[in-house]
Amino acid sequence: MKDNNFIKVLDYKIYKNSISDAVKYIENYNKVHIISGNPEVLYSALENDKLLNNFNSENSFIIPDGVGIQIAAKFLKTPIKEKIAGIDLMHRIIEKCEKEGKSIYLLGASSESLNSCVANIIMKYPNIIIAGYRNGYFDSNEEEKVVEEIKKSNPYCLFVAMGCPRQERFIIKHMKELNCKIFMGVGGSFDVIGEKVKRAPKWMIKIGLEWLYRVVKEPWRIKRLSSIPKFLILVYKNNR
């Protein structure tokens, strides 16, 4: 049965409604892996069977994070209501957890950035229950210990900020054994919330130029922009 809350871009189901609707829709899942669906993430998954299978699974929820997805949706004549940035949805989820007395766990970034992120979350959401947090600097030998720590803290929501595809691989590998309801890879969001990295001005975000601000501030990101035309060309070829 077709779900009218989504559009189809390549083999992906992308959520098409507002961020407020997204927060409500997430409740439909027993467990959900929220994926920030920008062209870079979605294009990389096309070359990785594990990621692709997970992104297309019934437990995955892809949000339209990126101007490239908006362009693709317009080209397919199935426009989305708004771009949903991962960091914005993260804030909405934390706000909801605070209201409902549900806990969160933060995994990733450097200790310095993570500590600042946790402090700023507590400042903004004073009643939030932080079940635990740990930096993302661990190797495969330590991974099981990290998972056990998360299990013991038993959070409702797990935010993983280790960059794509590492954060997605971690979620995919441990989603079944962890008792969380919400799993979300959030990239550099801890750095932004912890004020290590400044986010683009609101006017740039509003007109879809957040990517340009990030490239100006971090020129190494320009290499990653090549995924946008590659993704759009693939969308075009598959819908001629």
Residue pointed to by tokens 């801890």: 190
Q: Which residues have CB under 8 Å from 84's CB, separation 6+?
A: 15, 18, 19, 22, 63, 64, 65
Concatenate the DSSP letters of all residues of 72-93 into one string: HHHHTT---S----HHHHHHHH
* Domains in the chain: boundaries: 6-194
Label each residue of 190-207 as H, E or C.
HHHHCCCCCCCCHHHHHC
- Collapse the DSSP code of 211 into the 3-class scheme (helix H, G, I; strand E, B; otherwise coil) and give the result: helix
Which CATH code for domain 6-194? 3.40.50
Nearest to 35 by CA among 71, 69, 72: 69
Q: What is the pLDDT of residue 175?
A: 97
In contact, 145 and 157? CB cutoff 8 Å: no
Q: What is the pLDDT of residue 203?
A: 79
Q: How many angstroms separate the CA atoms of 64 and 77, rounded?
A: 15
**Dihedral class, residue 9 (left if φ above 0, else alpha if ψ from -120 to 50, else beta):** beta
Nearest to 149 by CA among 131, 169, 165: 131
In contact, 203 and 83? CB cutoff 8 Å: no
Give pLDDT tens digits along the chain (240 positions): 568 999 999 989 999 999 999 999 999 999 999 999 999 899 989 989 999 999 999 999 999 998 889 999 999 999 999 999 999 999 999 999 999 999 999 999 999 999 999 999 999 999 999 999 999 999 999 999 999 999 999 999 999 999 999 999 999 999 999 999 999 999 999 999 999 987 778 877 776 767 666 667 667 666 666 788 888 899 988 887
Q: What is the pLDDT of residue 223?
A: 66
DSSP letter assigned to residue 19: H
Which tokens hold the place of 112? 């310095």
In contact, 7 and 78? CB cutoff 8 Å: yes
